[in-house]
């Protein structure tokens, strides 16, 4: 497939399009394109506020957010009315989004942005791909976007079917970028001088691609020296040495896969080719092995973001134009349980970028230069606790109460009950933990005596526990357990 055709295919599954916009049949992806929502939708959720990205052209959508800190944020844009058209626009802020200053990547006419990565208020890199003119590749600015220059040694030759997908810098000098396979292997480069010189990683140091496999724009994650990027066949590539050597592993997903890691070992991968509700896969060994995630609640399918500094909190966003596929949700347990930001329901929200204290931004569409285009998630001023409960067996059973929230929990107490089984010496238990600091846990073990093996017409016992705190938060858990004398086995 030529580069223009690949751009149509890639972007038809990621970006919102206008109701009147129709993709050519050859470019259709399994996920139907979504339409840009009517203008004038304003959510009331106090955690999110709408900001103006400053574009004078309406319907500029934000497809990538690079948040440097609480003040400096850069964002790449695309044409929300014709998302496969060339668009080299970006916007940036140095005051936390109070004002955004739009601009265009100079020298990149005929190109569009795959993603943008910012180091500070002056320095940023943009992966620009070919649409209808120009020379694609990595473009860099060192003067706040006033001028940009293409870094020629990261070749990404569109005549060879190349396509730049991702870029990341560890500091001002050391960086990595990648694109689709050319000459039979992924086009991956590293640099030690800020991109003045990019060196292609040899094929012997990269796991071979599957037939027809390619990367996806902006679908990567970086923690320390580790980098992961996803492919459209459900695989995740991993480097533990800043991009110099690579392995690949199959997730439980089968399509456009974005890895999102919270540390060097633990992370999620999301299938962003699903309809309205995403599919997730999880790993606890750095991406060598993956398991499907069973979820409750809605995880949206436009973007997934780990929230820095939290124990296990992720946000998701959705941008579908119809039905219930637009909005935002959060999970405090690593993607297993999702809760909607209720007042964001029906609001198209896209790529996210977050910094400390739950401060971050999510892309949207603008109406004009003073209305809309991006949502800011406010920093927490009154952090709250979040309680979770787990029950394990052994000699008796143990109740573990964890505070996975951002504030301390006081007056923590819990009760536990056993139903079913025979000859139970005690069926009700209670305990007081007292204060439970954020991101900590405490456990208590209780001795039981009885028989519950699921025979002689008596059901297997059920052990349930509920924890509460003074701040009004509640956590619950329930397990089935076989009990023989004092031994408890979870079933």
Domain ranges of the chain: 3-377, 387-490
Average pLDDT over residues 319-335: 86
Q: Does 342 have pLDDT greater than 50?
A: yes
Q: Does 85 have pLDDT greater than 60?
A: yes
Average pLDDT over residues 58-75: 97
In whole numbers, what is the pLDDT of the chain averaged over residues? 88
In angstroms, the CA 335 to CA 252 distance is 15
Written as six digits, the tokens of 64 are 């990538």
- Residue, of 265 and 20, whose pLDDT is higher: 265
The helix (run of H) or strand (run of E) holding residue 12 is helix 3-12
Confidence tier at 276 by pLDDT (50, 70, 90):
low
- Quote the pLDDT of residue 195: 98
Task: Give per-residue pLDDT as tens, 154-172.
Answer: 999 999 999 999 999 999 9
Confidence tier at 13 by pLDDT (50, 70, 90):
very low
CB-based contacts of 340: which residues, under 8 Å, 6+ apart? 297, 298, 327, 328, 329
Q: Does 298 have pLDDT greater than 90?
A: yes
Average pLDDT over residues 372-384: 89
Q: Please name the CATH architecture into which domain 3-377 falls.
A: 7 Propeller (2.130)
Q: Does 40 have pLDDT greater than 70?
A: no
Q: Does 34 have pLDDT greater than 50?
A: no
Average pLDDT over residues 10-25: 34
Confidence tier at 421 by pLDDT (50, 70, 90):
confident
CA dihedral 24, 25, 31, 36 (to 10 degrees): 30
Task: Give per-residue pLDDT as tens, 204-239.
Answer: 999 999 999 999 999 999 999 999 999 999 999 999
CATH class of the 387-490 domain in this structure: mainly beta
Average pLDDT over residues 54-65: 97
> What does DSSP say about strands 394-395 and 124-130: parallel, antiparallel, or unpaired?
unpaired
In angstroms, the CA 251 to CA 254 distance is 8
User: For the stretch 93-114, what's the b/e string if a residue is b when 16 or more beta carbons lie within 10 angstroms of its beta carbon?
Assistant: bbebbeebebbebeebeebbbb
- Quote the pLDDT of residue 3: 43
Distinct helix (H) and strand (E) counts, the chain? 1, 40
Residue 29, Cα to own-chain centre: how many angstroms?
A: 21
Average pLDDT over residues 350-358: 94
Neighbouring C-beta atoms of residue 123, cutoff 10 Å: 19
Window from 61-75, 120-134, 184-198, 381-395 with minimum mean pLDDT: 381-395
- Quote the pLDDT of residue 347: 93
Window from 124-128, 203-207, 433-437 with minimum mean pLDDT: 433-437
């Amino acid at each position: 497939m030529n580069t223009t055709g690949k751009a149509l295919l890639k972007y038809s599954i990621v970006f919102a399009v206008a109701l009147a916009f129709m993709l050519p049949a050859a470019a259709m992806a399994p996920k139907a394109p979504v339409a840009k929502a009517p203008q004038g939708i304003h959510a009331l959720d106090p955690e999110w506020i709408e900001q103006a990205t400053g574009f004078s052209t309406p319907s500029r959508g934000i497809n990538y957010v690079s948040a440097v800190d609480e003040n400096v944020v850069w964002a790449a844009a695309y044409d929300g009315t014709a998302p496969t058209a060339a668009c080299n626009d970006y916007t940036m802020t140095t005051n936390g989004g109070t004002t955004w200053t739009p601009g265009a990547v100079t020298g990149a006419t005929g190109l569009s942005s795959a993603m943008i990565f910012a180091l500070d208020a002056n320095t940023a890199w943009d992966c620009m791909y070919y649409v209808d003119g120009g020379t694609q590749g990595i473009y860099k600015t060192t003067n706040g976007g006033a001028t940009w220059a293409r870094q020629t040694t990261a070749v990404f030759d569109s005549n060879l079917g190349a396509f730049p997908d991702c870029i990341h810098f560890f500091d001002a000098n050391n960086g990595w970028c990648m694109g689709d396979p050319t000459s039979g292997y992924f086009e991956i480069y590293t640099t030690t001088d800020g991109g003045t010189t990019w060196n292609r990683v040899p094929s012997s140091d990269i796991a071979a691609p599957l037939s027809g496999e390619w990367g996806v724009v902006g679908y990567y994650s970086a923690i320390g020296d580790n980098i992961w990027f996803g492919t459209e066949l459900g695989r995740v590539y991993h480097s533990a040495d800043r991009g110099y050597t690579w392995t690949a592993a199959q997730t439980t997903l089968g399509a456009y896969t974005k890895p999102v890691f919270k540390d060097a070992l633990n992370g999620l991968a999301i299938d962003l080719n699903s309809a309205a509700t995403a599919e997730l896969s999880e790993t606890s060994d750095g991406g060598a092995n993956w398991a499907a995630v069973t979820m409750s609640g809605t995880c949206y399918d436009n973007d997934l973001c780990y929230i820095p500094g939290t124990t296990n909190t992720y946000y998701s966003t959705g941008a579908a134009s119809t039905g219930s596929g637009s909005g935002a949700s959060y999970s405090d347990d690593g993607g297993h349980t999702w809760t909607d930001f209720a007042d964001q329901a029906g609001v198209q929200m896209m790529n996210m970028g977050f910094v400390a204290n739950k401060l971050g931004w999510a892309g949207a569409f603008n109406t004009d230069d003073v209305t809309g285009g991006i949502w800011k998630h406010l920093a927490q001023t009154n952090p709250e606790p979040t309680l979770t409960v787990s029950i394990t067996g052994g000699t008796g059973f143990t109740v573990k109460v964890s505070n996975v929230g951002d504030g301390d929990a006081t007056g923590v107490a819990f009760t536990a009950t056993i139903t079913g089984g025979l000859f139970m010496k005690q069926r009700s238990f209670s305990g007081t933990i007292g204060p439970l600091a954020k991101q900590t846990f405490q456990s208590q073990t209780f001795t039981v005596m009885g028989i519950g093996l699921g025979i002689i017409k008596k059901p297997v016992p059920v052990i349930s526990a509920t924890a509460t705190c003074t701040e009004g938060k509640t956590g619950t858990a329930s397990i089935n357990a076989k009990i023989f004398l004092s031994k408890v086995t979870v079933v």
